[in-house]
Amino acid sequence: MRQPLVAGNWKMNGSRASIAELLDGLKAGIGNVRTVEVALCAPAIYIPDTQVQLDGSAIKWGGQDVSVHAAGAYTGEIAAAMLTDFGCHFVIIGHSERRAYHSESDALVAEKFAASREAGLVPILCVGETLEEREQGVTEQVVARQLDAVIAHCGIDTVGEGVVAYEPVWAIGTGKTATPEQAQEVHAFIRGRLAANSQTVAEGLRILYGGSMNPKNAAELMAQPDIDGGLIGGASLKAADFLAVCAAANR
């Protein structure tokens, strides 16, 4: 039985004050969500504040990106060990915004996955097609390419130590959610791809859905057999919404 995971991705939003308020609300409400693993991926500069507020609570935290390098002359980069130094459990890897706006290639994403695991972080590997790719009917090819690059570089067992998030790019921040059937189809494809390498990894690995998941559509999506939780952008910025999504994942 895979434990559901709901991870918030604040992206580049918030201030010290707004994050303190949000975390107060989340800590107050999270008690009712018992069977779900819950995490928040904060902008790097707010990770120390997040750690101070979440320490000792049931909520874990993480980063939104990481360097492939362990240390050294890499101005502006943040190493995986720096994230663990501040208690991070998770890190988002290969988010479509990083692939699109920061030219992250499949190969670089695979290296980031490896660097995260080496430092003991649990990487949340994002995969997903653009609207154009979906319309061309190449969704499965795109997702397979993104996944295979990490399997080839890290090995299937290391991939099994992480989490995969299927995030159709056309559904991110647009209010357009994939239907439960559309999402399930790709999730099942991903699990099948993993199974071709290792049945054990395929059965144990959590595959999250991300892309305009909110309190209204979360339960229906989470009810799909291969959807094991969510990666939540917009709805993670409001305590009530995020808690409602966590409650929908409660099994």
The contact set with ligand PGA (CB under 6 A) reads: 9, 167, 172-173, 210-213, 231-235
Q: Which is nearer to ligand PGA, 50 or 64 (CB)?
A: 64
> Cβ of residue 45: shortest distance to ligand PGA, in angstroms?
19
**Chain residue whose CB lies nearest ligand PGA:** 233
> Cβ of residue 75: shortest distance to ligand PGA, in angstroms?
27
Which residues are catalytic, by number?
A: 95, 167
Q: Which is nearer to ligand PGA, 173 or 204 (CB)?
A: 173
- Give the separation between CA 43 and CA 18, rounded to whole angstroms: 13
**Beta-carbon neighbour count of residue 219 at 10 Å?**
15
- Give the separation between CA 87 and CA 53, rounded to whole angstroms: 12
- Give the separation between CA 26 and CA 41, rounded to whole angstroms: 14
Q: Is 155 left (phi over 0), alpha (psi -120 to 50) or beta?
A: left
Q: Which is nearer to ligand PGA, 174 or 200 (CB)?
A: 174
C-alpha distance from residue 8 to each of 54, 90, 92, 142, 232 (Å): 14, 11, 10, 24, 5
Helix residue ranges per DSSP H, 30-138: 47-54, 80-85, 96-101, 106-118, 131-135
> Cβ of residue 19: shortest distance to ligand PGA, in angstroms?
17
> Cβ of residue 13: shortest distance to ligand PGA, in angstroms?
10
Q: Which is nearer to ligand PGA, 48 or 173 (CB)?
A: 173
